[in-house]
């Protein structure tokens, strides 16, 4: 698939490619993939999420479990009701969704709460993309509050909250590293004319414990996610963090995937290899989530891992009746498929280490 769209141009005329070229020049000729992705995905003037994204779902560039079927919203609502009870969270119980895309998950969670309980919950969204926040506001109206950061939302909630996200972590920038001659080298980007080319930089720390990683193996390391988590995890006093995303444990997630998991999405087409860089600022660029890192970083920041299950296990654990419905509903069968999205997406639940169950 090679769908090339014009380079994203900001309001002042500089394209994403111009901005990347300038950044690379400032860094001595090349720029790390993490820094490039911060620009190409999240810059408010030329980034995909920052400016160009229309929505998430059928009318966007990619779909998620949340936009395919209401099951995830229903399961998160069931999970939230159970945890609010078990943890005796004070009312209103704050539900903080981070990275809400089209607002479909929020809508699904709110609709799945029984009407007599809705007022016991307060729904807050933390969204970094201005265009998507607009979509969410139009869809949800006054049913949700919009806050600038998770720390701010937690402060408003008095530190008691259920924080959750679907396909948020995979939208964070990441570094790409490659195994060469017993070392791990950083993959960097150069701008050559009107195209982006990969080049190899100097040695970097290994992506994890994998002494016999094959030559040429590539992995992604999402350090910006750790930095972001460190800004708010210490403010969660009582509650839970539920992270739903595609990925796996290290190094299993890379077995048989020598070139790593980097890929792009444009108009529901998956792009790999050099095409990932063909539509700068105009396509989603992503990679699987290394849940070993997410678990370890959480522990370092005071969040204990409580469970890690597949999306299928989570959905059926919360809503056992879904199993029967899957025979009749194709989209539901898709999100539950153990060989597909249901097995490739994991659900991690974490809680403050010092708090009770
Ligand atoms: C892949 S989309 C998933 C959207 C939605 N959760 C769903 O499942 O359909 C990633 C979402 O996270 C948002 N996002 C990315 N980084 C973020 C950050 N640091 N803080 C808040 N939102 C972020 C994006 O703008 C987008 O709404």
Quote the ligand 1 centre to 342 CA distance (angstroms): 20
Contact 165, 143 (CB under 8 A): no
Contact 109, 76 (CB under 8 A): yes
- Is residue 93 in contact with ligand 1, taking CB distance under 6 Å? no
- Is residue 55 in contact with ligand 1, taking CB distance under 6 Å? no
- Is residue 169 in contact with ligand 1, taking CB distance under 6 Å? no
Low-confidence stretches of the chain (pLDDT < 50) are 1-2, 356-357
Quote the ligand 1 centre to 212 CA distance (angstroms): 35
- Is residue 64 in contact with ligand 1, taking CB distance under 6 Å? yes
pLDDT tens digits, 103-145: 999 999 999 999 999 999 999 999 999 999 999 999 999 999 9
Domain boundaries, given as residue ranges, for the chain: 9-350
Q: Which of 39, 63, 99 to mutate to test the pocket of ligand 1 (most atoms within 8 A of CB)?
A: 99
Contact 71, 322 (CB under 8 A): yes
- Is residue 113 in contact with ligand 1, taking CB distance under 6 Å? no
Which one, of 29, 14, 28, 40, lies nearest residue 190 by Cα?
29
Nearest CA to ligand 1 atom 1: 167
Instruction: Give the pLDDT of residue 2.
Output: 46
Give the span between the Cα atoms of 75 and 110, in whole angstroms: 11
Topology (CATH level 3) of domain 9-350: Rossmann fold (3.40.50)
Instruction: Give the pLDDT of residue 5.
Output: 66
Nearest ligand 1 atom to the CA of 62 is: 1
Instruction: Give the pLDDT of residue 13.
Output: 58
Which one, of 266, 301, 41, 63, lies nearest residue 172 by Cα?
41
- Is residue 127 in contact with ligand 1, taking CB distance under 6 Å? yes
End-to-end CA, the chain = 48
Nearest CA to ligand 1 atom 11: 99
Nearest ligand 1 atom to the CA of 244 is: 8
Nearest ligand 1 atom to the CA of 126 is: 21
Helices 223-232 & 291-300 angle (0-180, nearest 10): 30
């Amino acid at each position: 698939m090679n769908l090339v769209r014009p380079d994203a141009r900001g309001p002042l005329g500089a394209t994403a490619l111009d901005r990347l070229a300038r950044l690379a020049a400032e860094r001595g000729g090349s720029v790390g993939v993490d820094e490039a992705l911060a620009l190409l995905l999240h810059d408010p003037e030329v980034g995909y999420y920052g400016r160009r994204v229309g929505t998430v779902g059928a009318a966007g560039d990619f779909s998620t479990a949340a936009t395919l079927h209401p099951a995830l919203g229903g399961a998160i609502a069931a999970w939230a009701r159970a945890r609010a009870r078990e943890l005796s969270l004070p009312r209103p119980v704050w539900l903080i969704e981070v990275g809400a895309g089209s607002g479909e998950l929020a809508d699904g969670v709110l609709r799945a709460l029984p009407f007599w309980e809705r007022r016991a919950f307060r729904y807050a969204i933390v969204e970094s993309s201005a265009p998507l926040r607009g979509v969410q506001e139009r869809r949800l109206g006054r049913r949700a509050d919009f806050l600038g950061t998770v720390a701010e939302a937690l402060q408003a909630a008095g530190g008691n909250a259920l924080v959750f996200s679907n396909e948020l972590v995979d939208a964070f920038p990441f570094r790409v590293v490659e195994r060469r001659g017993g070392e791990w080298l950083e993959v960097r980007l150069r701008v050559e004319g009107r195209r982006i080319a990969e080049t190899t930089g100097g040695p970097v720390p290994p992506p994890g414990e994998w002494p016999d990683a094959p030559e040429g193996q590539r992995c992604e390391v999402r350090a910006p996610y750790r930095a972001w988590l460190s800004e708010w995890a210490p403010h969660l006093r009582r509650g839970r963090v539920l992270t739903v995303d595609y990925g796996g444990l290290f190094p299993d997630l890379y077995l048989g995937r020598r070139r790593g998991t980097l890929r792009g999405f444009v108009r529901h087409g998956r792009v790999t290899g050099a095409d990932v860089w063909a539509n700068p600022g105009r396509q989603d660029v992503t990679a699987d989530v290394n849940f070993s890192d997410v678990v370890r970083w959480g522990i370092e920041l005071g969040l204990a891992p409580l469970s890690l299950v597949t999306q299928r296990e989570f959905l059926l654990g919360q809503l056992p009746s879904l199993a029967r419905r899957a025979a009749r509903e194709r989209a539901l069968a898709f999100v539950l498929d153990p060989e597909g999205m249901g097995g490739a997406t994991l659900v991690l639940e974490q809680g403050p280490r010092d708090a009770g169950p």
